[in-house]
C-alpha cells in the first residue's frame, strides 16, 4: 500500500531544499497530491469501489501522465526529474492495477490487510471439474468454431463474476470476494490459453 504523507510535511521538505526549484507550481501541486495518496483509487480521486468506469480512469491517467511528461522536466534539477519519473511509475502501476477486474479486487483486499491465499479457499467440485475439462479440451482442440465458443462462454463467466464480486464488496462479504477472485484467476488463465491457441492457429480477431 502507498503510504500517505502529510501535505504540510511534504511541502516543507521539498521547498526547504535549496536545489529544488519549482518553476511550474501547477505541476508541483500535482506531484504533491499524487505523492501523498494512500492507495491506487486515491491516485485518480476515485471512491474505494470495485465498480469502476474504466473510461474515466483512462482519461485521468492520460492527463496525469501528460503533466509528468519528461519534456516538462528535462531542463529541471535532477531531483525534480527523478521525482517525476517515480510518480509516473506510480501512476502507471495504479492504472494497470485498477483497469483489470482481477488485480483491482486484489488491491481492495490488500487495502483491508487481506491476502489471497489459494490453499485456504474451498472451491466447489463442480467448478474445479469444469476448469479441468476446459483445459483438457483446449489441449486437444484445433477447431476454430469450438475455440470461439469456449472463449464466448469463458468471457460470459468472467462478466458474471465481476457482478458477483461487485456485490460481495458492496455487502462487505470479503470471504465471498476472495473466492470469486480466485475463480476469476482460473478463468483468466483459460483466456490466456485461448489467446495463445488463436496465435498458433492463425486466428485473427
pLDDT in tens, 155-177: 999 999 999 999 999 999 999 99
Q: What is the mean pLDDT of residues 74-82?
A: 78
Q: List the grid coordinates of 197.
A: 491457441
* Nearest one of 135, 56, 55, 101 to 45, comparing CA atoms: 56
The least confident of 12-16, 21-25, 163-167 is 12-16
What are 183's three cell numbers?
475463480
pLDDT, greater one: 23 or 55: 55
* Sign (positive or negative) of CA dihedral 33, 38, 43, 49: negative
Written as nine digits, the cell of 63 is 492527463
Q: Yes or no: say if 169 and 101 are a contact pair by the CB < 8 Å rule.
A: no
> Does residue 9 register a pLDDT over 50?
no
Q: Among candidates 186, 46, 188, 30, which has minimal Cα distance to 111? A: 46
| Lowest pLDDT segment from 50-59, 73-82, 126-135 | 73-82
The percent of residues in the chain predicted with pLDDT above 70, rounded, is 79
The domains of the chain, with CATH numbers, are 7-99 (1.10.287.110), 118-201 (1.20.1280.20)
CB–CB of 174/114 below 8 Å? Answer: yes
The DSSP code sequence of 82-151 is HHHHHHHHHHHHHHHHHSSHHHHHHHHHHHTT----GGG----HHHHHHHHHHHHHHTT---HHHHHHHH
3-7, 21-25, 40-44, 52-56: segment of lowest average pLDDT: 3-7
Please say whether the beta carbons of 109 and 177 come within 8 A.
Answer: yes
Amino acid at each position: 500500500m502507498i503510504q500517505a504523507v502529510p501535505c504540510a510535511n511534504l511541502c516543507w521538505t521539498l521547498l526547504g531544499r535549496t536545489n529544488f526549484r519549482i518553476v511550474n507550481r501547477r505541476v508541483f501541486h500535482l506531484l504533491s497530491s499524487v505523492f501523498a495518496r494512500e492507495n491506487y483509487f486515491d491516485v485518480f480521486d476515485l471512491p474505494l469501489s470495485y465498480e469502476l468506469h474504466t473510461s474515466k480512469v483512462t482519461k485521468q491517467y492520460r492527463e496525469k501522465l501528460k503533466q509528468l511528461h519528461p519534456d516538462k522536466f528535462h531542463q529541471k534539477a535532477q531531483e525534480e526529474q527523478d521525482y517525476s519519473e517515480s510518480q509516473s511509475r506510480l501512476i502507471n502501476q495504479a492504472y494497470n492495477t485498477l483497469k483489470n477486474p482481477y488485480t483491482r479486487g486484489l488491491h481492495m483486499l490488500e487495502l483491508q490487510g487481506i491476502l489471497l491465499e489459494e490453499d485456504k479457499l474451498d472451491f466447489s467440485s463442480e467448478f474445479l471439474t469444469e476448469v479441468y475439462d476446459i483445459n483438457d479440451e483446449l489441449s486437444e482442440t484445433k477447431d476454430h468454431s469450438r475455440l470461439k465458443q469456449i472463449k464466448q462462454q469463458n468471457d460470459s463467466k468472467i462478466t458474471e463474476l465481476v457482478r458477483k464480486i461487485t456485490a460481495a464488496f458492496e455487502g462487505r462479504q470479503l470471504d465471498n470476494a476472495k473466492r470469486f477472485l480466485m475463480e476469476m484467476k482460473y478463468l483468466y488463465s483459460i483466456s490466456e490459453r485461448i489467446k495463445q491457441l488463436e496465435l498458433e492457429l492463425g486466428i485473427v480477431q
